[in-house]
Amino acid sequence: MSHLVVLHTGNEQKNQHILDYFDKKGIKHKAKALKTGDYSFMIEACPELGFVRDTYFTDELCIERKNSIGELAGNIKEKDERFFKELNRMINIKNTYLLIENNCVDDIIEHRYDSQYNELAFIRRILGIQKTANLYVNFVKKENMGFMIYEICYSALMNHILK
């Protein structure tokens, strides 16, 4: 879809590999201040598709990315006010995703992360957040993150918006 533009917050750290992937694949993207999350999308004006002006879908899709479970553990254990406010804002968005880079759930269970946060408390907290915020949690390899972000945006457009 040539009119789909992935939006990314300008203050996300360590995301150059994602932007490089978009550039390599010819995926349009632009930095934009997002109310919630790190990624979402827009459709550029395309009257033949029914979009007479640029249309933003930031209220329909929110993707929050963490670069590791260690970062997520820190957010949860330290009761990071910004992170929990972010989760509260996500509750009002139809499709929300938490993408965790370079780890898998087994890394939590087997305590392979840099935090003293107890693995049982950690996994239970993630499951609780997932339920409360109606959030999809996915673990994605760093080299596949750009692909996953684009596919989530594309899927949200095809399955929920253009029905």
Do 143 and 102 form a contact (C-beta atoms < 8 A)?
Answer: no
The 10s digit of each residue's pLDDT in 41-97 is 999 998 887 889 999 999 999 999 999 999 999 888 877 788 888 888 898 898 999
DSSP string covering 83-106, please?
HHHHHHHHTTSSEEEEEEET--HH
The total domain count for the chain is 1
Query: What are the b/e assignments for 129-161, b being 16+ CB within 10 Å?
Result: beeebebebebbeeeebbbbbbebbeebbeeee
pLDDT score at 148 = 98
- Which range marks the domain in which residue 153 is found? 4-161
pLDDT score at 12 = 72
The 10s digit of each residue's pLDDT in 119-152 is 999 999 999 989 988 899 999 999 999 999 999 9
Q: Domain of 86: which CATH number?
A: 3.40.50.10130
How far apart CA 160 and CA 131 sit, in angstroms, is 21
